[in-house]
Amino acid sequence: MPLKRFPRQKTNTPQKAKSVSSVLFAGNPLPMWIYDVDSLRFLEVNESAVRQYGYTREEFLSLTLNDIRPSRGTLPIEQTLQGRDIDPDKTWINVKKDGTSIHVNVRANDVRYLGKRARYVVAEDVTETRSVQAELVRLAHHDALTGLPNRVLLEQRMREAFDTAQKNNHRAAIICLDLDRFKQVNDWYGHAIGDECLKKIAAMLTRRLRGMDTVARTGGEEFALLLGEVESVAAAGIVAKALLQAFSSPIEVEGQSVFLGASMGVAVFPDHGTEAATLRKSADAAMYRAKRAGGSRHVLVASDHSTAAVESEGIHSHMVKSLKDGGFLLHYQLQYDVNHEIHGMEALLRLPHADLGFVSPDRFIPVAEDNGLIHPIGKWVIEEACRQLMLWNTNRKRPVCIAVNVSPLQLMRPDFASEVREAIAQSGIDPTWLEMEITERVMLNFDEIAKRMASIADMGIRFAVDDFGTGYSSLQHLQRLPISTLKIDRSFVQQLSESSRSYPIVKAIIAMGHSLQMQVVAEGVETEDQLGILRKLDCDSVQGFLWSRPAPPEVIETILAEEQSARSKYKEPERKRQPYWDCSAASSTVC
């Protein structure tokens, strides 16, 4: 809005009679001033300018425009205005008397004042408005929780990084990262701790990358890392391995130690593509392939990366159909004491496929957990194991026991215990015949899991910790949970010799288990040498290819029949501890 010009003055003193223009000038709520175009000295200021800038009127009239401009980072006003007038609606930076910088929008008109060429200026403080606008722009390009760039800014930086890589003839990479089973953290600890975990992970990832790189949050528990320059595809893989190593330590949040893994997919420009959208999609597909392989790993984009999502969907569809049509199977691997007498078995889930043969559990279990199928599948496993137990134990003098694997997601369901109770009632089995194997992952939500396990143990069902020694359990956890059996992870057994580093670990696990009145089972026993060492260390039982491979029910039934026939001919020797397989007493808490 143009301002009215002051009338030309005939004397060197301003008129004392107040015109309409002078009233608008003096009482305007916006800062106004008049300055000499030639000397840039202020000729007149209004009361709003005095209040806004902190100078007295006399101090203001002793200054020039350069005195309210920043001393650094801006050109002198003479150079700024050389050859042209002040631009309408231009934003300037001004400095108040206390040194505070403000942003002002200026509007100006040329006037004659006191016989001089002058300029009449309105200066509106827009500092807060600009701050709000800047914050809106920031929020549009950054994640509100972590402060990291979001998907929009990531895509912009990917285009810039790949353009620079092409221009300078080097490589760049994109890593898609998804936290493994993060939903469990929210379910177990609550969303507040989940959010704090995300913040700490964002900070950790940022610290580990360079200034030229970008860490972005692209979804709930998904991140993307843009490496501005890498030497090779292998170098990008090394970065991914280093990031995975960072997840080996727990995240401490509000007194909780939260363990999180990550699955990563890595795509490199230009080796795996030159379009940002294509590379991002490829890295995302590789990341999901890493999740299906069990998580806590990275996968480089391969030539068949485009089939990854299709493969996952195919496995999911096949599982749904198998549940409906009875396509799942249970095979069983026998467990023996060290004197080669059967004490039980483990039920192993099998998924036959017309083209793929038996699909590996490492491939279909993560898909089942991610898609909510783990509950109906796990329910079927328990029901089938109970049915099989009743068939095998109806006419046996010594009942056999079956151990079934249970996902933490099953244990977290409030109706899980009632479903187990119903399966036992329908089959008619003694609950002491059934054992549930859990992994040390259940320790992530100790208090809630402990309640679920206690209600199930009250039925007489035993619990075993599978793959012991590779997870997060502590003596406190083992003491407080109703655990009866420790299963030594096969990775220790496979390396076992008296001179190996595994030897003192296995020895300590066995001693600790016995001190806690637990049975100890060694998994993955394949050689007589391993068996001999385990006998020497007083391990209770073994499981592995040395004496038994997983087999279908009809094969196991034949073995059980032969074993019962042979046993009936001999008197059983005395034992130091009650054998794990002795379930003959209904009141017994071991089986």
pLDDT of residue 532: 95
CATH number of residue 245's parent domain: 3.30.70.270
d(CA 163, CA 274): 9
Our count of domains for the chain comes to 3
CATH number of residue 473's parent domain: 3.20.20.450
pLDDT of residue 88: 45
Whether residues 126 and 155 share a domain: the answer is no
Q: Residue 267: what residue type?
A: A
Whether residues 89 and 185 share a domain: the answer is no
Structure-token pair, residue 64:
């020039």
Whether residues 443 and 512 share a domain: the answer is yes
pLDDT of residue 9: 43
CATH number of residue 122's parent domain: 3.30.450.20
d(CA 67, CA 501): 75
pLDDT of residue 584: 37
In a domain, 387, yes or no: yes
- Pick out the chain residues at pLDDT < 50: 1-18, 73, 78-80, 82-89, 303-308, 574-591
d(CA 519, CA 540): 6
In a domain, 156, yes or no: yes
Q: Nearest-CA neighbor of 408 among 321, 344, 469, 472?
A: 472
In a domain, 87, yes or no: yes
Alpha-carbon separation of residue 485 from 481, 515, 535, 540 (angstroms): 11, 12, 17, 10
Q: Which residues contact 497 (CB under 8 A, 6 or more apart)?
A: 503, 529, 533
Structure-token pair, residue 136:
């809106």
d(CA 77, CA 39): 11
Task: List pLDDT tens digits, range 217-252.
Answer: 998 899 999 999 998 888 899 999 999 888 888 888
pLDDT of residue 362: 76
Structure-token pair, residue 417:
């215990």
Whether residues 70 and 191 share a domain: the answer is no
Whether residues 176 and 245 share a domain: the answer is yes
Q: Decide: 336 and 548 in contact? Cβ < 8 Å.
A: yes
In a domain, 113, yes or no: yes
Whether this prediction's pTM lies above 0.85 is answered by no
Whether residues 105 and 156 share a domain: the answer is no
Task: Bin 150: left if φ > 0, else alpha if -120 < ψ < 50, else beta.
Answer: beta
d(CA 456, CA 21): 88
Whether residues 216 and 103 share a domain: the answer is no
Reply yes or no: is the peptide bond before residue 270 cis, omega within 30 of 0.
Answer: yes
In a domain, 11, yes or no: no
At residue 176's C-alpha, the angle toward residues 251 and 287, to 5°, is: 95
Domain encompassing residue 120: 20-131
